[in-house]
Amino acid sequence: MSLDIQVITPEEIKQRLASGERLNMIDVREDEEVAFGMIPGAKHIPLGELPDRLDEIERSDEIIMICRSGNRSGKACQYLQAAAGINGLKNMVGGMLEWDGPTT
């Protein structure tokens, strides 16, 4: 079963953050990966911990999932939509490899 997951570009996220918009972003990379920097405002929940931390995901009209390349965050979107019934998910295509904005 393939779910239709929407995508968002790193450039679009950067522009929206620069304009002062508050985005609901979840970074699913591992601890050692986020040590190199995360998009400001993103929440860190490693992919393997998602099932146990569903209550930490703020339900909003848009939830942006982020990883290193866009692969794990895509899996996270599919899992959250199929298993948890969460809508409004978007996968950041290209992941942090494509991100050239500020990090924390």
Residues marked as catalytic: 67
Tokens of 1: 């079963």
In the 8-state DSSP scheme, what is residue 7?
Answer: E
Provide the phi-psi class of 5: left if phi over 0, else alpha when psi is between -120 and 50, else beta: beta
Q: How far apart are CA 11 and CA 55, in angstroms?
A: 29
Q: How far apart are CA 104 and CA 98, in angstroms?
A: 16
In the 8-state DSSP scheme, what is residue 20?
Answer: T
